[in-house]
Structure 1
Amino acid sequence: MQSLTSFFKLAFAFLAIFATTSFSTAIAGAFGLRGDASDVKVAVDTTSKWEGYSYTCTKSSIEVREEGGKWYMKASCPKMDGKTFLKSTLDLDNCYTNKDGMLFEHNHGNFSETCHKCALFSYASGFPNEFTCICDPLQQTADPVHLHTTIGNNDGFLQCYDNKASLVA
């Protein structure tokens, strides 16, 4: 049974190589190498596109909080050297929008104007990357968005689209 499981993991990794532009991200995902950066056994290309923060950023450092009516994500992520970590804060209004009570990826979407009671939680992966809110006009919990498909690690800084996070002192 163990050899069959290994075969499927290898097959998934092979298929993932062709389905993504980031070979190392595909391998890390296929073998469940997420969480703290110390868990990552391959060098992850953090410059190819802004997704996959969950493959490099420290799991225990990730938090989402409300401040002044807006929602922010904070995390500690490694720079390209793999040794230095930066803590940065990203304004999630730059990454998501509310359309008819549902959250969607969108550059400068300003969802905070119409959404409240947001929460970050872990789903099957055990990694905190699911984000949901109660949004107008539905006033019910929106289906979660998967933060790691929009937000990435750009040399230690969280980033979505052309929006780079601010360094936390």
Structure 2
Amino acid sequence: MPAPLLWLGASAIAILAGAKYSNDKQLKESVSSLPGSLDTKILPVNGAIVTCGVYGLFEHTGIWVDGNILELKGNGLIRGISPNRFLKERSGDYIYIACDSNNVPLIQSDAAERAISRLFSYSEYDLIKNNCHKFVWHCISGEDIPLTRFSALNQKIAERFATTIHWHPAHY
């Protein structure tokens, strides 16, 4: 009986490794500097796109507004939280901001307003179909399309702003 379980575990690891490789390849096409690769700290501004790591496997994203981060929580609540709370119970020690090559945060003029308009509402959370990346993309674009992975969000952001993304640590 243990042998089938070992094969099942090995299969799951292979699938995760393949997804990680695919994710990394897509990221390289739209991102010049991954989170954690730059030292220059950037002051967040309203509407900035932010991210932090989740146990080295995933990234969590949100929109910066008035010293807080608006996010879609795993229970479906759209809320505003402090930067420290954004990092709490996640593996990342830093919050990163999406910037262009001149260290200017990538901001869509009405992203903060869209995020604020959804505060304290619920959106049926689904890791694949309705996650934090979809929420962030909706705030940026107004579009309601599923974005499962961080790499897909990066690709959409890079296309929207016609630039590669440089993820800088936030100075707050």
TM bin, normalised by shorter chain, reads 0.3 to 0.5
Whose helix fraction is larger, Structure 1's or Structure 2's? 2
TM-score by length of 2: 0.35
TM-score by length of 1: 0.35
Whose strand fraction is larger, Structure 1's or Structure 2's? 1
Tell me: higher relative CO, structure 1 or 2? Use CA pairs within 8 A at least 6 residues apart. Answer: 2
